[in-house]
């Protein structure tokens, strides 16, 4: 088994090599940069008898694990809405490799929140997604660190708010 924890641009060939070597794979997120490549890798792995898992470590954080279990046990009834906001300082990425990731906030960090919404909504597909990002006054990193996302499901809704320059 291999854990491939590189940036996604160089990961694809490593994934192919691991499949060819018949090694099961834990890939860090994001798995790939496009769905076509992801589907090809999954199909190739299936044919080779290789399992691929993508590390979604946010799913196992204690607060999310509790909420997932509560939703799965029906303790919250039908989930008609989930509205999550996160306030922290992500400006630490200034001067790192993450500073060159165009949509670092949504691409690298928010993926955990999209994943947990998928768990809460129990696999119901999103009908529409609207996201916007903007730079915060005084932020040091290049990519915008303020973002919001609205997701519409059949008979339900969700929202995410990311304030990634909250110093206190």
Cis preceding-peptide flag for 98 (omega within 30 of 0): no
81-131 tens-digit pLDDT = 999 999 999 999 999 988 998 899 998 889 889 999 999 998 789 999 999
pLDDT at position 117 is: 93
Residue with the bigger pLDDT between 158 and 59: it is 158
Residue 138's CB: how many other CB atoms inside 10 A? 8
Q: Would you state the pLDDT for residue 35?
A: 92
pTM over 0.85: no
Interhelix angle for 111-120 vs 62-72, to 10°?
20
Query: Is the confidence at residue 59, as pLDDT, over 90?
Result: no
Instruction: Give every strand in the sheet of 146-153, ordered side by side.
Output: 81-87, 156-163, 146-153, 126-134
Alpha-carbon gap, residue 76 to 62, rounded angstroms: 17
pLDDT given at position 89: 95
DSSP 89: B
């Amino acid at each position: 088994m291999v854990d491939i924890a590189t940036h996604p641009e160089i990961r694809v060939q490593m994934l192919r090599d691991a499949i060819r070597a018949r090694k099961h794979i834990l890939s860090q997120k994001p798995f790939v940069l496009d769905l076509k490549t992801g589907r090809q890798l999954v199909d190739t792995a299936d044919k080779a008898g290789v399992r691929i898992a993508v590390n979604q470590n946010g799913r196992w954080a204690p607060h999310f694990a509790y909420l997932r279990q509560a939703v799965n046990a029906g303790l919250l009834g039908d989930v008609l809405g989930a509205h999550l906001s996160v306030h922290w300082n992500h400006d630490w990425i200034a001067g790192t490799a993450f500073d060159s990731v165009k949509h670092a906030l949504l691409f690298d960090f928010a993926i955990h929140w999209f994943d947990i919404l998928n768990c809460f909504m129990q696999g119901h597909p999103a009908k529409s997604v609207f996201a916007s990002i903007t730079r915060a006054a005084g932020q040091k990193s290049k990519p915008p660190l303020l973002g919001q996302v609205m997701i519409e499901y059949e008979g339900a809704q969700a929202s995410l708010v990311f304030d990634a320059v909250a110093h206190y």
